[in-house]
């Protein structure tokens, strides 16, 4: 039996054991009882006692020591952190240090037994911030001798160390120049930078700064903040990218990881249709990012019924403030878009298109609108949208078929053609500038280079035509007729409506089929699809089954099927300025305007799941 009072030494004995265990040592505590017996205890528990005789090292003492060592080893194993835990602690420490909570960081590192960065890296950082360039050089020498870098490169240095030394010497050179120490700066340039034989073009630029007359001129030409904390912090950020994370963490690593996680969640969000904001302040890190379908343009906001026959085409202006619709009733209607309420009202009606209007194209500055008719139409109308006046009515021959048109990016020329073999380039007055014989055009598009015109033809292909050097090349080849196509803003992707196949996405640069979108019913009617949403992440198309289909660009299955029309939907247009606004034109004689749910709770945001 232990004497009373043994429990008082238990707490200190336990603490000693834990501390010893953390240091990897065995702990043995001995206590003297009131009856004179010696007891070996571990953590205050009776391990072995002698009944009036001493306990030899081969019995009680050895047993206590073994038990104590086993317990210490168990505690040490329990306290050992995994690599992932250590990484997280270092990331948190770096973030807290960036907030100025240095004492908290020191306590965190002490309690966890981790090290935020190598001690030599800490000295290196301090030397850089103090501008102690000679000591910085010694720090680089340590890095060079360490096993963290390979030694392949010039001057006996690894490429990463070479880049680091160059950046440091560049800062040193600029600070000497700013201080007016021209001779010292020249010595750095000739004696230290040039022998590196690295980035000679940059060295030539640096040598030109010797001609700067004053410090302000130097900072302006070098695009440099000047000697001090700001430029040295920027230098450290660059240097850290070349250092292994075991030595020094990359700058703001935790923020980078969080930003990547947020971006990944946004990419996986089917309905994310708001402007991308790289700032973490715009999102909550406490819950996953999920957008609601109610925020997506899936609901009818308005039905435009002013046309009295089939509506064949619709197109928002480039600035998103107007919508043009063309109909079999021979009219074009221009609608004004209220940018606040997103309601449309009739602005003006353009009449006189005897064959009806099957295609419309806005000029790059939205000043003009060109209207084309169906296959048997040989005329083309160029309207001044602002005044409502007809500027040009073009017809080269009564046998022509001008069914498609595309504006040159300069806004001074356009190309037009049809399936009877006409392919013209004209000015704003309808004067013929160039022509390409024998091309039966189905649809046209001008690329941003101002020279290349894409044309789908009756051979189930899209070819690129250069009117300057009169060359052409094959870009897309399908197995079925291409009824229409459109191109993304960056000119990289083409969206095709293919007869009996549906909607296909092509990469024009790599000339490969990227994706076939499912669900849409496409026969031999001409249906026009479109890119839409922020960053053109979505694709929308009409269909012969009276529905509008919407896909996320990366997925083949539709994310929304919009009902309401009663006949074939010929065209869909997504507002380029208002990502939550879309229009569809149908043979039922109506144009539907689609938007988010009309009674969306203002407090609902992209972080809440649609119930």
Q: Which domain covers residue 132, as residue numbers? A: 117-146+155-251
Same domain, 462 and 373: yes
pLDDT band at 305 (very low <50, low <70, confident <90, very high): very high
| E strands, 395-536, in order | 404-407, 413-417, 423-427, 432-435, 441-446, 452-457, 461-466, 471-477, 482-487, 493-498, 502-507, 512-517, 530-532
pLDDT for position 278: 65
pLDDT band at 27 (very low <50, low <70, confident <90, very high): very low
609 belongs to a structural domain: no
67 belongs to a structural domain: no
Q: Compute the distance between CA of residue 24 and CA of residue 232 in angstroms, rounded to an integer.
A: 41
Q: What percent of the chain has pLDDT over 70?
A: 82
pLDDT for position 248: 80
pLDDT band at 247 (very low <50, low <70, confident <90, very high): confident
Same domain, 303 and 244: no
pLDDT for position 443: 94
Same domain, 468 and 521: no
Same domain, 468 and 516: no
328 belongs to a structural domain: no
pLDDT band at 276 (very low <50, low <70, confident <90, very high): low
Four-residue CA torsion sign, 469, 471, 476, 480: positive
513 belongs to a structural domain: yes
Coil, strand or helix at 59 = coil
Same domain, 283 and 404: no
**Alpha helices, DSSP H, located in 250-351:** 253-268
112 belongs to a structural domain: no
Whole-number Cα distances in Å, 116 to 125, 157, 245: 13, 26, 10
Of 443, 477, 511, the one marking the end of a domain is: 477
Where residue 506 falls (left for φ over 0; alpha for ψ -120 to 50; beta otherwise) is beta
Is the pLDDT at 419 greater than 90, yes or no? Answer: no
Same domain, 472 and 399: yes
Q: Compute the distance between CA of residue 426 and CA of residue 290 in angstroms, rounded to an integer.
A: 49
pLDDT band at 608 (very low <50, low <70, confident <90, very high): very low
Range among 147-161, 286-300, 456-470 with highest mean pLDDT value: 456-470
Q: Compute the distance between CA of residue 247 and CA of residue 434 in angstroms, rounded to an integer.
A: 65
Average pLDDT in the 185-205 region? 91
**Residues contacting 454, CB < 8 A, separation 6+:** 444, 445, 446, 447, 462, 463, 464, 465, 475, 485, 487, 494, 508
pLDDT for position 431: 92
63 belongs to a structural domain: no
pLDDT band at 438 (very low <50, low <70, confident <90, very high): confident
Whole-number Cα distances in Å, 532 to 267, 277, 428, 488, 540: 16, 18, 29, 9, 7
Q: Tell me, what CATH number does 363's domain have?
A: 2.130.10.10
| Interaxial angle between packed helices 215-222 and 159-178, expressed in degrees from 0 to 180 and rounded to the nearest 10 | 150
Q: Compute the distance between CA of residue 500 and CA of residue 522 in angstroms, rounded to an integer.
A: 5
Element (H, E) at 124: helix 119-130
What rounded mean pLDDT belongs to the chain?
A: 83
Coil, strand or helix at 109 = helix
DSSP state of 54: P
DSSP state of 200: H
Same domain, 297 and 283: no
| Residue-level length of the chain | 611
Average pLDDT in the 463-489 region? 92
Same domain, 204 and 279: no
Reference 24, options 74, 67, 65, 63; nearest CA is 74
Where residue 388 falls (left for φ over 0; alpha for ψ -120 to 50; beta otherwise) is left
pLDDT for position 188: 92
Same domain, 574 and 469: no
- Total number of domains constituting the chain: 4
pLDDT band at 143 (very low <50, low <70, confident <90, very high): low
With b for 16 or more beta-carbon neighbours within 10 A and e for fewer, the 58-72 pattern comes to: eebbeebbebbbebb
Higher model confidence: residue 2 or residue 290?
290
Same domain, 238 and 302: no
As beta bridge partners, residue 486 has: 495
Same domain, 198 and 273: no
pLDDT for position 599: 64
Whole-number Cα distances in Å, 49 to 38, 61, 76, 308, 382: 6, 9, 27, 108, 110
pLDDT for position 356: 94
Q: Compute the distance between CA of residue 339 and CA of residue 356 in angstroms, rounded to an integer.
A: 30
Q: Compute the distance between CA of residue 40 and CA of residue 44 in angstroms, rounded to an integer.
A: 9
Same domain, 307 and 279: no
181 belongs to a structural domain: yes
pLDDT for position 172: 93
Q: Compute the distance between CA of residue 91 and CA of residue 117 in angstroms, rounded to an integer.
A: 11
13 belongs to a structural domain: no
DSSP state of 248: S
């Amino acid at each position: 039996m232990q004497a009373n009072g043994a429990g008082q030494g238990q707490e200190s004995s336990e603490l000693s054991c834990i501390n010893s265990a953390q240091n990897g040592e065995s702990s043995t505590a001995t206590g003297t009882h009131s009856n004179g017996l010696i007891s070996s205890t571990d953590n205050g528990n009776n391990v072995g006692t002698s009944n009036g005789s001493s306990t030899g090292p081969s019995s009680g003492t050895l047993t206590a020591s073994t038990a104590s060592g086993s317990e210490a080893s168990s505690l040490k194993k329990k306290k050992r952190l995994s690599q992932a835990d250590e990484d997280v602690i270092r990331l948190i420490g770096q973030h807290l240090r960036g907030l100025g909570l240095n004492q908290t960081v020191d306590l965190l590192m002490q309690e966890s037994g981790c090290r935020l960065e190598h001690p030599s890296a800490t000295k290196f950082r301090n030397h850089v911030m103090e501008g102690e360039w000679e000591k910085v050089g010694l720090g680089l020498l340590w890095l060079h001798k360490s096993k963290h870098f390979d030694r392949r490169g010039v001057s006996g240095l690894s490429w990463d160390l070479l880049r680091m030394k160059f950046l440091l010497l560049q800062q040193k050179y600029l600070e000497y120049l700013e201080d007016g120490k021209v001779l010292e700066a020249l010595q750095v340039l000739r004696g230290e930078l040039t022998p590196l034989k690295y980035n000679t073009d940059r060295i030539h630029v640096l040598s030109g700064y010797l001609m700067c007359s004053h410090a302000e001129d130097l900072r302006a030409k070098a695009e440099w903040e000047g000697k001090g904390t700001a430029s040295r912090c920027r230098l450290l950020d660059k240097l850290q990218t070349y250092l292994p994370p075991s030595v020094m963490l990359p700058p703001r690593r935790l923020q980078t990881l969080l930003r990547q996680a947020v971006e990944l969640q946004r990419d996986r969000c089917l309905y994310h249709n708001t402007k991308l904001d790289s700032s973490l302040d715009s999102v909550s890190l406490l819950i996953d990012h999920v957008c609601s379908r109610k925020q997506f343009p899936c609901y009818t906001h308005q039905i435009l019924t002013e046309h009295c026959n089939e509506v064949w085409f619709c197109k928002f202006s480039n600035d998103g403030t107007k919508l043009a619709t063309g109909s079999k009733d021979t009219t074009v209607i221009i609608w004004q878009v209220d940018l606040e309420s997103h309601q449309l009202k009739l602005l003006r009606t353009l009449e006189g298109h005897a064959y009806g209007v099957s295609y419309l194209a806005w000029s790059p500055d939205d000043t003009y609108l060109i209207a084309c008719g169906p296959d048997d139409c040989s005329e083309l109308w160029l309207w001044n949208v602002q005044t409502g006046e007809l500027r040009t009515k073009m017809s080269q021959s009564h046998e022509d078929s001008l069914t498609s048109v595309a504006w040159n990016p300069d806004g001074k020329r356009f190309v037009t053609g049809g399936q009877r073999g006409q392919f013209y380039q004209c000015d704003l007055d309808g004067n013929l500038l160039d022509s390409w014989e024998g091309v039966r055009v189905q649809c046209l598009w001008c690329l941003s280079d101002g020279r290349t015109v894409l044309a789908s033809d009756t051979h189930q292909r899209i070819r690129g035509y250069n009117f300057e050097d009169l060359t052409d090349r094959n870009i897309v080849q399908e197995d079925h007729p291409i009824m229409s196509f459109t191109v993304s803003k960056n000119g990289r992707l083409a969206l095709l409506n293919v007869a009996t196949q549906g909607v296909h996405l092509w990469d024009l640069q790599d000339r490969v089929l990227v994706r076939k979108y499912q669900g849409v019913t496409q026969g031999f009617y001409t249906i026009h699809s479109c890119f839409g949403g922020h960053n053109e992440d979505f694709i929308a198309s009409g269909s012969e089954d009276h529905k509008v289909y919407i896909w996320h660009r990366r997925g083949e299955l539709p994310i929304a099927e919009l009902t309401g029309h009663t006949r074939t939907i010929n065209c869909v247009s997504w507002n380029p300025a208002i990502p939550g606004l879309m229009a569809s034109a149908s043979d039922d004689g109506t144009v539907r305007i689609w938007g988010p749910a009309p009674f969306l709770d203002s407090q609902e945001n992209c972080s809440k799941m649609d119930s």
